[in-house]
Amino acid sequence: MSTTSTRVETGPGPVARQLARRIRGRYLSPLVSLALFVVLFGALVSRYDFASPTQVFLNLLVDNAYLVVLAVGMTFVILTGGIDLSVGSVVALSTVIVATTLRAGWPLPLAVAAVLLVGPLLGLVMGLIIEYFDVQPFIVTLAGMFLARGLCYVISVDTLPIKDPVLRAIGLNYVYLYEGEFIRWTVLIAAVVVAVAAYVLHQTRFGRTVYAVGGNRQSTQLMGLDASRVRVSVYAISGLCASLAGLLLAVQKLSGYSLNGVGLELDAIAAAVVGGVLLSGGVGFVLGSVIGVLVLGTIQTFVTAENLDSYWTRIMTGVLLLVFVLVQRLAMRKPR
């Protein structure tokens, strides 16, 4: 007569363990960022008792629409394990080009096409150098940053006003939602960019390859995926987003200026990291980067409302960036 013993599991089941691992890995940093935004925004609204908290939130989107688009492009690059330091200068170059061409009498569609061509072209060249000459992205994009900023100064060192009626209408007119709450057209353009980017990253073969290249490039090549093409393409996408962000900034300011966008590349990187995009690649979401932009925007609003010096924004952003890098490090550490 034989006896059998049954082992009873008292801990969490395999589904729960898998969910916990996913939350600990890919979703922890975005969830922390979202919670931080809710806390910061709640503190801001309760401290100053705004008449319309909804409009305060919408104003964050209005003021940072160009940064949302820039962070989307940066997300593609960082997901492959790269970095793009040229985007702030490309933003400035875009504002100068659109203002200069319009002043020279170019039709608006041609001026916009010229702007949207410059960024992707520069990004494509940088991507090809990075991929086929095996040069570090930091060095190549740093050279691209100097090149784009230098071209700004060559074209003009003065502020160039934009008088085109269509761009002025886009920049000045409101889009009313309900009961007097409003946004601007730049927010709608940024929302379309976010939606397209999210679809590409999560619903297409190209997007899955982007994640695969950032996760393990060698394995990606063994699976027969074109890692080289994807790695070059993300820099062109980042350049396109930078050009579009420059257009949105030009519409917002109704001018072009060679000193626009100084340090903006660091804001885009910070927004992506705070939003949960892993600097080593392979982990992150477009919506996480949008949350990161909202966090930075809330900090800026808080500093402005408190009438503090602008450098406090940089200090608080630096502290947050260090905290989220540590959060990512802990999240990616394998449990013993």
Element (H, E) at 265: helix 264-274
Map tokens 């702007």 to a residue.
115
Instruction: Select the more confidently predicted residue: 173 or 51.
Output: 173
Q: Which pLDDT score, from 0 to 100, does residue 2 have?
A: 45
What stretches of the chain adopt beta strand conformation (E)? 160-161, 174-178, 181-184, 255-256
Name the more confident of 286 and 221.
286
The larger pLDDT score, comparing residue 4 to residue 129, is at 129
State yes or no: pLDDT of 196 exceeds 50: yes
What is the separation, in whole angstroms, between the first and last Cα of the chain?
41
Mean pLDDT of all residues in 317-336: 75
The pLDDT of residue 167 is above 70: yes
DSSP letters of 84-131? Answer: ---HHHHHHHHHHHHHHHHHTT--HHHHHHHHHHHHHHHHHHHHHHHH
Higher pLDDT: 94 or 8? It is 94
What is the reported pLDDT for 231?
A: 94
To which residue do tokens 């908290």 refer? Answer: 53
Is residue 13 over pLDDT 70? Answer: no
What pLDDT sits at residue 17? 53
Pairwise pLDDT comparison (177 vs 90), residue with the higher score:
90
- Greater confidence (23 vs 229) lies with 229
User: Percent helix, strand and coil across the chain, each rounded to 5?
Assistant: 75, 5, 25
SS (H, E, C) 172-183: HCEEEEECCEEE
Confidence of residue 165 (pLDDT cuts 50, 70, 90): very high
Q: Which two tokens stand for residue 118?
A: 């410059």
Per-residue confidence band for 178, with pLDDT thresholds at 50, 70 and 90: confident
Question: What pLDDT score does 1 carry?
Answer: 44
**What's the token pair of residue 327?**
């959060």
Burial (Cβ within 10 Å: 0-12, 13-18, ≥19) of residue 155 = middle
In this prediction, residue 333 has a pLDDT band, given cuts at 50, 70 and 90, of low
Least confident among 77-81, 177-181, 200-204? 177-181
Residue 161: strand, helix, or coil: strand
Q: Do the beta carbons of residue 98 and residue 162 sit within 8 Å?
A: yes
Token pair belonging to 16:
């729960």
Comparing 63 with 51, which gets the higher pLDDT? Answer: 63
Per-residue pLDDT tens digits for 108-120: 999 999 999 999 9
Our CA angle for 117, 169, 70, nearest 5°, is: 40
187-201 burial, b if ≥16 CB within 10 A, otherwise e?
bebbbebbeebbebb
**Residue 219 pLDDT:** 80
Note the pLDDT tens digit of each residue in 32-47. Answer: 899 999 999 999 998 8
Give the separation between CA 121 and CA 40, rounded to whole angstroms: 39
What is the structure's pLDDT at 133? 96
In the chain, the domains with their CATH numbers are 50-332 (1.10.3470)
d(C-alpha 309, C-alpha 304), whole Å: 8
Please say if the pLDDT value at position 7 is more than 80: no
pLDDT at 23 over 60: no
Percent of the chain predicted with pLDDT > 90: 69
CB 249 within 8 A of CB 170: no
Report the pLDDT value the prediction gives residue 49, as an integer from 0 to 100.
78
Average pLDDT in the chain: 89
**48-85 core/surface letters (b: 16 or more CB in 10 A; e: else):** eeeeeeebbbbbbbbbbbbbbbbbbbbbbbbbbbbbbb
- Please enumerate in sequence order all residues whose Cβ is within 8 A of that of 82, keeping only pairs 6 or more positions apart, or say none: 130, 137, 231, 234, 235, 281
The residue assigned the tokens 């962070």 is 71
